[in-house]
């Protein structure tokens, strides 16, 4: 029996059987003066069996599967872009091909520096549903704001996907954590919850809600002066 045929048969069986999901985690630590750090993570560990199978193929369901080298190259491009961005420093990347976790972290001088950057990074990481946000922080009013606009492009692109690919998004989650030096007095997004110290706020939601526009990430967070 040709080895190649057997390989495809096993993969076919594997792909039919495995469910999949992934996590996106966005962490921002903000200092009083408006500077801070960002850590963006895409975690496919819960689907690593499926990802490992997919990585053995050139394409699956008509979609080109990026090679390890391609993924490394894309990440290197992100790092290079960040290093050349105004107000950005201490750029670090980490790719764990055992667990399929990719993360990028960097420091910023002012929160406005990250507006375009997060969009660019998420776009590179092929996460298009949440890359339409902007961040502001006023050192005088102590208000941190994330403005999020749902784009119809996300649902249009999603609807173009084959049903089996759509399933990938069913259990995918997005988590944002913002940590501050001062306690939070008030916030506007009902999906968010504040930590015991009142200095951190977390929002955890499904990616599907972001794609179809049912979930809004906009949040106005007022810190104590």
Site residues (vs another protein, CB under 8 A) = 1, 6, 9-11, 13-14, 17-19, 23, 25, 27, 43, 45-46, 48-50, 52-53, 55, 97-99, 101, 175, 177, 179, 195-197, 199-202
- Exposure string (b/e) for 3-33, b if CB count within 10 Å is 16 or more? eeeeeeeeeeeebeeeebbbbbbbbbbbbee
Q: Which is nearer to another protein, 18 or 148 (CB)?
A: 18
Tokens of 101: 């976790």
Nearer to another protein, 87 or 209 (CB): 209
Residue 169 CB, nearest distance to another protein (Å)? 13
Compare residues 11 and 91 and give the one whose CB is closer to another protein.
11
Which is closer to another protein, CB of 10 or CB of 80?
10
Q: In what order do the strands lie in the sheet with 173-180?
A: 88-96, 101-108, 36-43, 23-30, 173-180, 200-206, 193-194
For the CA atoms of 224, 145, 186, 34, the dihedral, rounded to the nearest 10 degrees, stands at -20
């Amino acid at each position: 029996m040709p080895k190649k045929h057997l390989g495809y048969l096993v993969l076919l069986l594997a792909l039919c059987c495995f469910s999949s999901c992934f996590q996106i985690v966005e962490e921002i630590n903000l200092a009083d003066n408006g500077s801070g750090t960002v850590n963006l993570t895409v975690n496919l560990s819960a689907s690593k069996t499926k990802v490992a199978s997919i990585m053995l193929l050139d394409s699956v369901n008509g979609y080109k599967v990026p090679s390890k080298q391609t993924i490394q190259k894309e990440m290197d491009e992100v790092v290079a872009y960040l290093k050349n961005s105004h107000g950005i420093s201490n750029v670090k990347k980490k790719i764990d091909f055992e667990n399929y976790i990719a993360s990028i972290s960097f420091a910023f001088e002012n929160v406005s520096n990250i507006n375009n950057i997060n969009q660019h990074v998420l776009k590179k990481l092929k996460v298009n549903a949440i890359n339409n946000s902007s961040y502001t922080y006023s050192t005088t009013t102590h208000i941190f704001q994330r403005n999020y606009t749902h784009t119809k492009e996300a649902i249009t692109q999603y609807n173009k996907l084959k049903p089996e690919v759509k399933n990938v998004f069913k259990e995918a989650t997005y988590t944002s954590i913002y940590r501050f030096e001062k306690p939070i007095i008030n916030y506007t997004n009902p999906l968010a919850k504040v930590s015991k110290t009142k200095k951190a706020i977390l929002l955890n939601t499904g990616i599907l809600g972001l794609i179809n526009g049912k979930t809004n990430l906009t949040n106005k967070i007022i810190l104590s002066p």
